[in-house]
Amino acid sequence: MSVEAKTAIIEHLGRQHQAMVALLAELVNIESGSYNKSGVDAVENRLRAWLEAAGIPCEMFPNERFGGCMAARLPAANGGGARPIVLMGHCDTVFPDGTLAKRPFRIDANQATGPGVADMKAGLVMNTFVLEALRRFGAPCPLVGLYTADEEIASPSSRPIIEAEAKDARAVFNAEPGRPSGNLVSRRKGAAFIELEVTGRAAHSGAAHAQGVSAIEAMARKIQRLHKLTDYDLGTTVNVGLVQGGQSVNTVAPRATAGIDVRFPTLNIMEKILGEVREILNYSELPGSESRILREGNFLPLEQDEASRALLDTYARAAAGLGMQGVGGEATGGSADSGFTAALGTPTLCGTGPVGGNAHTDEEWCRIDTLVPRAQALALTILDVAAG
């Protein structure tokens, strides 16, 4: 691509600040928690209308239980059928319905707030505008804008679609929020979310205590052992973040449940820690108690291989050319869809989105003055990757 064409793309994106903020406001003001199917679908329908008006057709992947996924498909301007570059982002948020009424989209100077503003509606806006700019000035290779539905609950419905789109891609850019330092994310921990049920036997705690089997006691013993698996040096953590159980204060508890979060830095360590966790979950602490896994979701870790490191270098050069010096990669314990694509061997860069912080809290913020520069850096990186 000529220098003039590159300059035209950068200048075009440079004029989109107001339009990007306007679309961001629209998206944040659609409530779209992971379990809010109609909300997630509404976010996608809004983006579909926007993209199709810009001449980019969208393929929908409807889902009965969760929101659907959507793939915006932009062919290469020269008609080349080479492997695509995927711009990925999730349309769901962690926030339950009703959050918006308490704190709708707001801007104070350069900072925007509202549920999902950084994680990751700003990233969706950025990807969408990059696609539009490359359609206008000529996509250097096929591009796929992949909009997913349920990342915040480990992508049970989106994962097969993500893997199918990313399998043969030459690169994946995942628009999770950029770090407050301006860095991207080059490594992420994997995670397993497990909902465990332990059953025992109910009995009157005064009249027939010996006949009972306490599910709470069995669960408590499991929790002690699970928490001992945390090893900061190895990078593994086990957190039982939710516990429920019992029937009444004077009944030996017949049932208890727990929500368990397990984190690990690599695929190898994943095998080890999940093996240890399963051993504890399957063990029967008290005769007559039983346990079973009710639900399980997994994120794979994002490990930085040679190709992903090269991708980060390409991005850093593009960013430096735009005046953003010293952009690097950071590790985080948070998990994301980028782990799935990296595990396929597809070079993956995460955290390409506009800069934000305090994700998953009421204090979430996004720096709207980074919408344009991050879009420009991504567009230049795409051009370089396609050329190389």
- Which residues of this chain interact with Zn ion, rule CB under 5 A? 119-120, 176
Tell the smallest beta-carbon distance from residue 341 to Zn ion (Å).
14
* Beta strand residue intervals within the chain, DSSP E: 58-61, 69-74, 85-90, 106-108, 111-113, 143-148, 171-174, 177-178, 184-188, 190-199, 203-204, 237-245, 251-252, 255-264, 290-299, 329-332, 348-350, 353-357, 365-367
Cβ proximity to Zn ion, 120 vs 166, nearer residue: 120
Cβ proximity to Zn ion, 119 vs 364, nearer residue: 119
- What distances in angstroms separate CA 256 from CA 45, 201, 240, 247, 293, one per listed residue? 41, 11, 13, 9, 12
Long-range contacts of 213-216 (CB under 8 A, 24+ apart): 213/252, 213/286, 213/287, 213/288, 213/289, 214/252, 214/253, 214/286, 214/289, 215/245, 215/246, 215/253, 215/254, 215/255, 215/256, 215/289, 216/245, 216/246, 216/253, 216/256
Tokens 């397990």, located at residue: 262
- What distances in angstroms separate CA 86 from CA 79, 195, 357, one per listed residue? 17, 32, 24
Tell the smallest beta-carbon distance from residue 336 to Zn ion (Å).
6
Q: Which residue is nearest to Zn ion (CB)?
A: 119
Cβ proximity to Zn ion, 130 vs 386, nearer residue: 130
Tell the smallest beta-carbon distance from residue 186 to Zn ion (Å).
16
Q: Check if the beta carbon of residue 388 is closer than 8 Å to that of residue 314.
A: yes
Residue 349, CB-side half-sphere exposure with 13 Å CA sphere:
29
Tell the smallest beta-carbon distance from residue 176 to Zn ion (Å).
5
Tell the smallest beta-carbon distance from residue 360 to Zn ion (Å).
9
Tell the smallest beta-carbon distance from residue 120 to Zn ion (Å).
4
Tell the smallest beta-carbon distance from residue 227 to Zn ion (Å).
27
Which tokens go with 221? 């013993």
Tell the smallest beta-carbon distance from residue 343 to Zn ion (Å).
18
Cβ proximity to Zn ion, 122 vs 380, nearer residue: 122
- What distances in angstroms separate CA 58 from CA 2, 8, 74, 90, 286, one per listed residue? 29, 25, 9, 16, 55
- What distances in angstroms separate CA 153 from CA 109, 143, 156, 194, one per listed residue? 32, 26, 7, 11
Cβ proximity to Zn ion, 20 vs 88, nearer residue: 88
Cβ proximity to Zn ion, 94 vs 234, nearer residue: 94
Cβ proximity to Zn ion, 308 vs 338, nearer residue: 338
Tokens 């290779």, located at residue: 141
Cβ proximity to Zn ion, 176 vs 217, nearer residue: 176
Tell the smallest beta-carbon distance from residue 358 to Zn ion (Å).
13
Cβ proximity to Zn ion, 41 vs 92, nearer residue: 92
